[in-house]
Chains A and B, each alone.
Chain A
Amino acid sequence: MLEYQIFFDYFPMILLGFWLTLKIVVCAIALGIPLGLILALGRRSNFILISFFATSFIELFRNTPFIIQVFLFYYVLPFYGLRLSAEYVGILALAAFGSAYFAEIIRAGIDAIPKGQLESARAIGMTDWQSMKNIILPQTVSIVLPPLTNQTLTLIKESAILSTITVHELTMTGLMVQGETFRPFEVFIMVALLYWALNETIASIMRRIEKRYSRNRKQNKIVRSKIDIIKSSGFSR
């Protein structure tokens, strides 16, 4: 009952969609992590206006479904005169969604660094920004790496939702092939396996990197226990 011919005939087309999914996710991460860092620092800011804005951005994007964020971006941007193609809207929406989660991860990472580090950096005359850049952030890298990976996997999965605004990524391609062939089983299994393979590949590579990191670095106990807390809270869809 399986029609193997479909796998051969449509695989190149599906791969094309897969390639666009990859590009979109890479762009969204490249935009989202800097934005997340800004939001994380903004949330810690002493200026109430900045911290209020950052906090509400983070909470709004974390507490709403991604699909409605996508539709809002898709309709709101032209409403204010910014006409972009669906791909760019998708990248923006995915980056905004990701940045809210990235911000929380980075914030947790900063909080996990003992307070004395910042205080001593300030005491020897570094500015706020210098002590962040040179002392705190480098130490958070190994802490935030596992949850950031987790979030990256989430973004790959959420990118499927961009098919609803006609971005021709993997899921959309699958839907189109399904419309041509009327063989949903073959098509969606192919699509699902590609997503699965991508996620498992990234996850296993990152596990290896993490292992190397934790071997090379001896961290003190406080940081370790906080890492565990961050890791255990990192459930993501």
Chain B
Amino acid sequence: MKFDISYIFDALPRLLEGALITLQVAILGFCFSIILATFITIVKTSFNSRIFNGFIAFYISFIRGTPLLVQIFLIYYVLPVFGLNLAPFPAGILAITLNSAAFVIEILRGGLASVPKGQFEAAKSLGISGYALWWKIILPQTFITSIPPLVNEFTMVLKATALLSVITVVELMRVSQQIYSANYHPVEVLSATFIIYFLMCFVVSRSSVFLEQRFKVKRA
């Protein structure tokens, strides 16, 4: 058998469609995980309750200690046992969100540690609290210092979405499997998929520098 490049061109339009779905899943999952992680971080620092923090530590340890694949199976196969039937797509996004949130919480903890304590105290002495304290003062600083690890986390999420193919979410990996099981040319199709994934992740990971420049705090 020879490597036949024409199969790549035949498959390309459908692969690109799959890549769009992959991007969709990754962006949705990442946005949800950032929202969830931000919320948890705020609750963690403002209430400092031992039970809540213990629960979050347990959650993070579980997510970091088990394979994403097993987490996906847990969500996809176990939730129906409790009467919650999710289609593959929302189940996949839920799995990605819950997984990524654990990592984003850790990232935000690091970012928050770099915000000087004086910022909290200054806000307090000015009578700023609650919404304005977090939304206008603390969170912007936290996120700007967290840009590089967050971009890294997004590439992780992008790569993690490929695992959703095992629960039949029709994203790039699944599309390529469908194509090569129809034309029996896995090497060509998988190579093309490999390159598409590489380009997406490479562009995203290189964008970190650009984003850092864009959001750099300008001090006179």
Residues of A whose CB lies within 8 Å of any CB of B are 59-60, 63-69, 71-72, 75-76, 79, 153, 156-161, 163-164, 171, 174-175, 178, 184-185, 188-189, 191-192, 195-196, 199-200, 232-233, 235, 237
State whether B1 touches A79 (Cβ < 8 A).
yes
Residue of A63, A184, A195 near B78 (CB, 8 A) is: A184
What's the minimum C-beta distance from A104 to chain B, rounded to whole angstroms? 12
Q: Give the contacting residue for A157; candidates B66, B177, B187; CB below 8 A.
A: B66
CB distance from A198 to the nearest CB of B (A): 8
The smallest beta-carbon distance between A31 and chain B, in angstroms, is 20
The interface bits of chain B over 28-71 (1 if a CB of A lies within 8 angstroms of the residue's CB, else 0) are 00000000000000000000000000000000011011111111
Number of interface residues of B (CB under 8 A): 48
List A contacts of B103 (CB < 8 A).
235, 237
B129 within 8 A of A: no
Are A195 and B67 in contact, with the CB atoms below 8 A? Answer: yes
Contacts of B197 in A (CB 8 A): 63-65, 68
A156 to B74, CA, bound (A): 18
Partner of A235, one of B73, B107, B173, B186: B107
Task: Give the residues from 143 to 195 in chain B that come closer than 8 angstroms, CB to CB, to chain A.
Answer: 149, 152-153, 155-156, 159-163, 165-166, 173, 176-177, 186-187, 190-191, 193-194
A192 to B64 alpha-carbon distance, docked (Å): 11
B121 at the interface (CB under 8 A from A): no
Interface of B: prevailing SS: helix
Q: In the complex the two chains form, is B78's CB within 8 Å of A196's CB?
A: no
Shortest CB–CB separation between residue B160 and chain A, in angstroms? 7
Q: Is B66 in contact with A192, judged by CB distance below 8 angstroms?
A: yes
Return A91 CB to nearest CB of chain B, in Å.
17
Q: Does A188 lie within 8 Å of B78, measured CB to CB? A: yes
B205 interfacial contact with A, CB 8 Å: yes
Tell me whether B173 and A199 are in contact (CB under 8 A).
no
Task: Tell me if B10 counts as interface (CB < 8 A to partner A).
Answer: no
Interface: B110 (CB within 8 A): yes
The answer to whether A188 touches B74, judged by C-beta atoms less than 8 angstroms apart, is yes
Is the CB of B134 closer than 8 A to any CB of chain A? no
